[in-house]
Structure 1
Amino acid sequence: MIVLKFGGTSVANAQNISKVIDIIINKSQKEKLLIVVSALSGVTDLLHLAGTTAANKNKEYQKLVSKIALKHEELIVNLVDSENQLALKTIVNNEIKQLQTLLDGCFLLNELSTKTLDRILSFGELLSSQIISYALKNNENNCCFIDSRKIIKTNDNFGKAAVIFNKTKELFSSVLQNINEQIIVFPGFIASTVNEETTTLGRGGSDYTASILAYCSNASSLEIWTDVNGMYTANPKIVKQAKSIENLSYQEAMELSHFGAKVLYPPTIQPVLNAMIPILIKNTFEPNAQGTYISNQSISNGNPVKGISHIDAITLLTLEGSGMIGITGSSKRLFEALSQHDINVIFITQASSEHSICIGISNNDAEKAKTIIDATFDIEISQNKIDSCLLEKDLCIIALVGENMKNHQGLSGKMFSTLGKNNVNIRAIAQGASERNISAVINKNDIKKALNALHERFFEDNTKQLNLFVMGVGNVGEKFIDQINQQKKFLKENLKMNVRVIALSNSRKMIFNEEGLDLNNWKLQLNESEEANTEKFISEVQKLNLRNSIFVDITANSDIANIYDQFLKQSIAVVTCNKIACSSQYENYQNLKNLSRKYNAPFLFETNVGAGLPIIDTLKHLIASGDKVNKIQAVLSGSLNFIFNNFDENNSFHDVVKEAGIQGFTEPDPKIDLSGIDVARKILILIRESGYKMENNNIENKSFLPEECMQTANNEDFFASLIKYAPHFENLLKEANSKNCKLKYVATFENGKANVGLEFIPQESPFYNLEGKDNIVQFYTDRYVDQPLLIKGAGAGAAVTASGIFADVVRIGNV
């Protein structure tokens, strides 16, 4: 004998019920079946609403009754042949009349007792089960219906009645001994007292009904048919990568179901556990899918963690005070008071000092619980020995579950470090001695990020999802996006990184997509999106609260550089090629570095100096290994190097600067490059990263531009000034040629002083043969004394800058 239970979504409409009937008939060819069905999807809520509406003296309950009646009448027409429709409609109409009479009474009395509510709610399962019984008879005559109230007996705790198992098992044997049909249909959720008063079995009652019948019949298995492929490693509505679990032990299933895995409710397991009857959770809409098999064995697939679950709407209640230390009975008084008022405690933790007890309860019970506990400890509170209990609402409990967790070290550390890296604050922790469950209380706003981060850590083959929020999609930004799109598959397969671009913004438009933008047509999407707004961009990033979030700044905008702290404080990493932040006031630079450390949010700016060259990263390794930088000499402007390498008798200075801009080597405002401001910023960043404190105004800038060029207000005037002062630039070139030197814009730091300026470089210098847009940096350190550490390569251009930004993103992914 097998017991099959079909939930509300499985019997939501005629189409779904037809699938249920196919499953039942197919299985009935082999074994006798006990079928338990829930109310039609949404009907229990309608019944509850009708009851409360009637009790509130609102005649709208009559419309709700009509809606319920119509819903069931439509099913009859679609599922039952015309020969049996009249008999079934008579049964349904009689049930609806009884429901109407009960609701009329609630309306007249202006009252809805738990006893009456149980009777009202029972109609959902009574109606659905009888309709399905008749529908089965269309296809299989060997079928009958039994009212569960004739068998399952409970106490009179209406709303959540307790089953009297010995009486129930006795009645089961008595009623079924004379029934020969192969298929027997029962309504779930409902039972009755020994006085024949209707009761209900509480949340998940239909599952519980099926489990009770499986126990009474000593069934070979209990099958729970629902709308998902079993129990999942996490809630698939929140964690898209969640997978169905093939095997669970009873204990693992109970832990997961207790912590919110709504496929199965905790009471369901107890009756079948005692009889060692396995549970199989199957999908009505994918009957051939494997599902989840629950038994007394925990079959390991190498991962000690079987699932991650959570409970919403939790309040932490803390009772603390010196008057509890060393005093016996405090815990007893606390839990006894809550028990007497039927308040369920979901979570418990207590410090070894006995100074405080912290419990988790439902938000709905919070105020009631506080009143009860304050009254219980009224004397101690009045004597200031114990504080009035403290409530922290709107929290969630998140839990790792697995039978074999106790045999593996470091799981707690992995769990908490993963949450910490994603700025998920843990309010309380609990772990039983069995180590089957590790629970933590967190803010409700962090639940999606926490579940996804933990699932990624324990179930996704260590594949890390990086969520990028990109501001600036000009030349460099476009190359960066193209590189991500090109390398996405490689990163996932080889580096276990799933890189998604969640947001893009330029000066005009911005777009967000929580599932990741399609990088094949991002330009079209961006052009058709909303107006750009920096404050809204920041707010949306913080509201999404995604794990492993990275803000990528590909602008030269000072306003954008000033918002990095808002991201770092939310543990959102920052990657930038914008030099303004790190070359701003030393206090601001240091603050950003401190925030990065405090909130464990990487702050990377490799492309601030040398575009894609590993200059800053190399410097960091030098300092970290204990070396000390004493002198820096560098050509740090790829744009200026390109300009002076191409400026000759045949190419005017004006034309070469224009070409540098066209090729993307200069900033949008070329004066930033030619004035030496950009080089000064770069050497300042290297000085600071070397461990020295210096401000921008401490760097001597020996500009080669005439003052009038410097004073221009826009690019048009600036280029006009370059034509006007062409002789000035030509004289510089002639002087360099006469000295057999080349013109290079050099940055120098030595003995605590720094300067930038145009220099005549002799042939013996390593700077002399620096070609194209290349950069070169020489570090003289305690270890590199006579021969400096030299880094040389392309230091400008959209593609190499984009690759440097990309490399910083990959560095974060490897953390």
Structure 2
Amino acid sequence: MIVSKFGGTSVGSAENIKKVIHIVQKKSQKTAVVVSALGGITNLLIKASDLALKNNESYQEIVDQIEQRHFSTIEGLLHHDNQTVCKAEVAKRLNNLKEVLHGVALLNDLSNKTSARIIGLGELLSSFIIYHAMLQEKLNVKLIDSRDIIKTNDHYLNAQVHFTETYDLISKSLSSKDNNIFLLPGFIASNKNGETTTLGRGGSDFTAAIVANAISASTLEIWTDVSGMYTANPQLVKQAYPIEEISFQEAMELSHFGAKVLYPPTIQPVLDKRIPILIKNTLAPEDKGTLITEKSLVTGSIVKGISHIEDIALLTLEGNGMVGVPGISKRLFGALAENQINVKFITQASSEHSICIAIDISESELAKRAVDDEFEYEIIQHKINPLIIEDELAIIALVGDNMKSHQGISGKMFSELGTNNVNIRAIAQGSTEKNISAVIRKKDVKKALNTLHAAFFEDQIKQINLFVVGIGNVGSKLLDQILSQYSYLLEKLHLQLRVVAIANSRKMLFRAEGIDLNVWQEQLDSQGVVSDMKTFMTEMNALNLRNSVFVDNTANHKVPGFYAECLSSSVAVVACNKIACSSNYDNYRQLKYLSRKYKAPFLFETNVGAGLPVIDTLNNLIASGDRITEIQAVLSGSLNFIFNHFDAEHSFYEVVKQAGIEGYTEPDPRIDLSGVDVMRKILILMRESGMPCELEDIKNDSFLPKASLEAGSVADFMETLKSGAGHFEALRKEAEELNCRLKYLASFKNGSAKVGLQHIPKDHPFYNLDGKDNIVLFYTDRYKDQPLIIKGAGAGAAVTASGIFGDIIRTGNK
């Protein structure tokens, strides 16, 4: 014989009950079917009780609602001719309920005995209705009132079972050879006087487990609304999947830590006889479900599941007076036990200076009073501190029988959490190593679950969550590149890039599940809200996603002010914006420090040379022990484009305007033409070389006339290029007469740097630098005579976007 228990969702509607009957019909063995109340009915009964106790007559409306729910179920299940008897019995029992509740209201008293009688009604009604539905389908079924066969003490709301008597009654009652199906209401029982008692939380599971033990069932089936026990909570981890097979111990551990499919105390009768448990989905009966047996199936991940408990308080008892004093722990746990406070987590350092325990947050104040009273003398003597309470916490746990035989599991767990800025407040790991638990912030639960699930269960596909600020020329090209390369990155590099937020100066858009890059512009226009960087940061922090990357595609002076906040939250920063790295040296150094401290990459390859690997090459030279002695470079693709196209047929003004149209200059061309942009770039290279220098340390030989330098706006500046045409023409002619080309150079040597326009003769390596190309010559201790040369396109939206894209991929490899 097997035992099949169907929970509240499984019997929550006429449609679902039909599925239950169909499942039972297909059984080839005799079956004991245990059913819960219709989903939500028990809560309604409790609500009606509370209202009656307050003498609030709206409890009658709740009872009417319960009646309508059952009538609706009957109408959906039974033929019209069969409904009358069933409805009459339901109405009779609910009228009786109203009388009981009326008495509660009159007496202003609700005893545990009366509560048990009220809240146990749901199972009686559901089993009665399902019984008649089974009879209609001509099933050979016998309805048994569980109160006749499960006997308990007088603790009405959480009764203790008299197992010997109960097992004997069940065995006799289910021994009939005339029936193939025995239908029982779960949750309810009775005392020696025949009064209704209930079995407490998970009572229907308990009923099923008791019956399974009594008849030595071949299997206990738990039918619910999920397809087994999952590797993690599927509501929080979309990639979670059902565990095919798991041991009793692993199931108990996962259930203790929040997996709602099983309630550990209730299945103990099954464990005593090592009866397999099969978790199945009533709504998808063809799914395999999870089989719980004595031994774990050793396949796939060593970790079998990840679970958690929210709403935890961490209590810390500490003080020098605890060290070496026997009995401290006994007194602590004794004080908690006397107040019926359940301890979920314990850890104590070998120094004996402190003990940390975790409990439900709802019991924290009671616990503090109890413990402080117990240690009142020691607290007065300053030997022990008053109990410390930390709230807004959660426990997260890795579970697996075979973790003990594999090294590095806990190290990997804590490393992954640390990389994603999940702070661990306490750790507990038993000597059996079947469970590794950590107390973390409640707000970090989703990120922690997804981080660990990716590390232990997924095919090493790393999801990168992108928060992109700046979606103009460069930003839009970046989004296009991410879209076009999505499949390649997933297949070849096991990286999944997900753009979670985008923002420009007017609007911003957040989508936790990811923005559809095929229609991002339409979504931003129609669904975006007013753009504000502080709000953007608040939203990003609230999402608290693993592997987050903040991408700055702007030239805005304010956006870099948020880099420190990002890095301190372990959010990587990728920037083409040069403001941060060319700001004062202390700020630059602080950002690099935060990046190291919080293991959050801070990458800005595009600050110099757009998509060229200039900074990466420099960093590799320094990391390998080389030393930069000299740098010569053309670092402005925009200026190189301008002077390469400035000739007798095109005025300087026309060429600068065209460079702006093609996206080669900054939005404000004065940044390029004044030399400030090139100064920033050589400054960044000097700093990356190890020199603590400032922008003002770099000499700037400007080629612009005074009027251009003093222009108050971009429009005024462009006008000065027209009015000063003679000045620029003279520069061009002078170079032509010398048989040279004009190039804007940056150089560094002997600790000093300068930028400026220079005449480049034909034999110089920079002479043939065409278009918008950049070139950098690194002279080092190893490259003394022949420099290391990096050359290529150094401006343009597409190449800059590709450089940013490369940095994003690098964050995924760190």
TM-score, normalised to structure 1, is: 0.98
How many corresponding residue pairs? 813
Counterparts in 2 of 1:293-692, with a 5 A limit? 293-528=291-526, 529-692=528-691
Greater than 4 Å deviation, 4+ residue runs: none
Opposite residue 15 of structure 1, the aligned amino acid is E
RMSD: 1.3
Opposite residue 520 of structure 2, the aligned amino acid is W
Separation in 1, partners of 2:722, 2:568? 48
Separation in 2, partners of 1:404, 1:199? 41
Which residue number corresponds to residue 258 of structure 1?
Answer: 256
Counterparts in 2 of 1:709-720, with a 5 A limit? 709-720=708-719
Separation in 2, partners of 1:390, 1:95? 51
Please say if residues 211 and 222 of structure 1, whose CA atoms lie closer than 8 Å, have aligned partners that are also in contact.
yes
Aligned-residue offset at 1:606: 0.5
Which residue number corresponds to residue 13 of structure 1?
Answer: 13
Please say if residues 86 and 129 of structure 2, whose CA atoms lie closer than 8 Å, have aligned partners that are also in contact.
yes
Separation in 1, partners of 2:662, 2:298? 58
Counterparts in 2 of 1:745-784, with a 5 A limit? 745-784=744-783
Opposite residue 439 of structure 2, the aligned amino acid is V
Which residue number corresponds to residue 154 of structure 2?
Answer: 156
In structure 2, the gaps of 5 or more residues are: none
Separation in 1, partners of 2:100, 2:798? 75
Aligned-residue offset at 1:570: 1.1
Please say if residues 596 and 602 of structure 1, whose CA atoms lie closer than 8 Å, have aligned partners that are also in contact.
yes
Aligned-residue offset at 1:727: 1.8
Aligned-residue offset at 1:577: 0.2
Partner SS for 1:550: strand
The C-alpha deviation readout for 1:234-257, integer Å capped at 9, x for no partner, is 000000010111010111110101
Partner SS for 1:154: coil
Is 90-99 or 637-646 further displaced after alignment?
90-99
Separation in 2, partners of 1:510, 1:177? 69
Partner SS for 2:558: helix
Partner SS for 1:276: coil
Partner SS for 1:396: strand
Separation in 1, partners of 2:104, 2:359? 32
Please say if residues 404 and 434 of structure 2, whose CA atoms lie closer than 8 Å, have aligned partners that are also in contact.
yes
Separation in 2, partners of 1:388, 1:112? 38
Opposite residue 11 of structure 1, the aligned amino acid is V
Separation in 1, partners of 2:174, 2:189? 17
Opposite residue 25 of structure 1, the aligned amino acid is Q
Partner SS for 1:252: helix
Which residue number corresponds to residue 98 of structure 1?
Answer: 96
Aligned-residue offset at 1:677: 0.7
In structure 1, the gaps of 5 or more residues are: none
Aligned-residue offset at 1:601: 1.2
The C-alpha deviation readout for 1:128-151, integer Å capped at 9, x for no partner, is 111111111110241121111111
Separation in 1, partners of 2:229, 2:192? 36
Please say if residues 161 and 202 of structure 1, whose CA atoms lie closer than 8 Å, have aligned partners that are also in contact.
yes
Aligned-residue offset at 1:269: 3.1
Partner SS for 1:153: coil
Please say if residues 146 and 184 of structure 1, whose CA atoms lie closer than 8 Å, have aligned partners that are also in contact.
yes
Opposite residue 577 of structure 1, the aligned amino acid is C
Aligned-residue offset at 1:35: 0.7
Aligned-residue offset at 1:319: 1.2
Please say if residues 422 and 548 of structure 1, whose CA atoms lie closer than 8 Å, have aligned partners that are also in contact.
yes
Separation in 1, partners of 2:176, 2:81? 27
Aligned-residue offset at 1:369: 1.4
Please say if residues 56 and 111 of structure 1, whose CA atoms lie closer than 8 Å, have aligned partners that are also in contact.
no
Opposite residue 6 of structure 1, the aligned amino acid is F
Which residue number corresponds to residue 276 of structure 1?
Answer: 274
Separation in 2, partners of 1:346, 1:632? 62
Please say if residues 250 and 269 of structure 1, whose CA atoms lie closer than 8 Å, have aligned partners that are also in contact.
no
Partner SS for 2:298: coil
Pick aligned residue for 2:56 from 48, 55, 58: 58
Please say if residues 673 and 704 of structure 2, whose CA atoms lie closer than 8 Å, have aligned partners that are also in contact.
yes
Please say if residues 743 and 761 of structure 1, whose CA atoms lie closer than 8 Å, have aligned partners that are also in contact.
yes
Partner SS for 2:359: strand
Which residue number corresponds to residue 728 of structure 2?
Answer: 729
Separation in 2, partners of 1:119, 1:619? 78
Opposite residue 157 of structure 1, the aligned amino acid is H
The C-alpha deviation readout for 1:411-439, integer Å capped at 9, x for no partner, is 00100011101111101100011100000
Aligned-residue offset at 1:15: 1.3
Aligned-residue offset at 1:57: 2.1
Aligned-residue offset at 1:474: 0.4
The C-alpha deviation readout for 1:574-633, integer Å capped at 9, x for no partner, is 100000111111111111111111221111100000001111111111112222212111
Matching of residue 83 in structure 1 with residue 81 in structure 2: yes
Separation in 2, partners of 1:143, 1:436? 43
Separation in 1, partners of 2:298, 2:532? 50
Opposite residue 16 of structure 2, the aligned amino acid is N
Aligned-residue offset at 1:280: 0.8
Partner SS for 2:427: strand
Pick aligned residue for 1:176 from 165, 174, 177: 174
Opposite residue 530 of structure 2, the aligned amino acid is E
Separation in 2, partners of 1:495, 1:140? 59
Separation in 2, partners of 1:784, 1:425? 45
The C-alpha deviation readout for 1:305-335, integer Å capped at 9, x for no partner, is 0110001111111111122211111111222
Please say if residues 174 and 182 of structure 2, whose CA atoms lie closer than 8 Å, have aligned partners that are also in contact.
no
Partner SS for 2:401: coil
Counterparts in 2 of 1:17-56, with a 5 A limit? 17-27=17-27, 30-56=28-54
Partner SS for 1:263: coil
Separation in 1, partners of 2:700, 2:78? 91
Aligned-residue offset at 1:152: 1.5
**Percent of aligned positions that are identical:** 60
Opposite residue 697 of structure 2, the aligned amino acid is N
Separation in 2, partners of 1:175, 1:570? 62
Opposite residue 208 of structure 1, the aligned amino acid is F
Aligned-residue offset at 1:473: 0.5
Aligned-residue offset at 1:179: 6.1
Aligned-residue offset at 1:787: 1.6
Is 709-718 or 312-321 further displaced after alignment?
709-718
Separation in 2, partners of 1:634, 1:292? 65
Which residue number corresponds to residue 744 of structure 1?
Answer: 743
Aligned-residue offset at 1:355: 1.3
Separation in 1, partners of 2:580, 2:619? 18
Opposite residue 100 of structure 1, the aligned amino acid is K
Please say if residues 254 and 269 of structure 1, whose CA atoms lie closer than 8 Å, have aligned partners that are also in contact.
no
Partner SS for 1:59: coil
Opposite residue 8 of structure 2, the aligned amino acid is G
Please say if residues 25 and 140 of structure 1, whose CA atoms lie closer than 8 Å, have aligned partners that are also in contact.
no
Aligned-residue offset at 1:90: 2.8
- Gap change, CA 1:96 and 1:179, over 3 Å in 2: farther
Partner SS for 2:120: helix
Please say if residues 576 and 805 of structure 1, whose CA atoms lie closer than 8 Å, have aligned partners that are also in contact.
yes
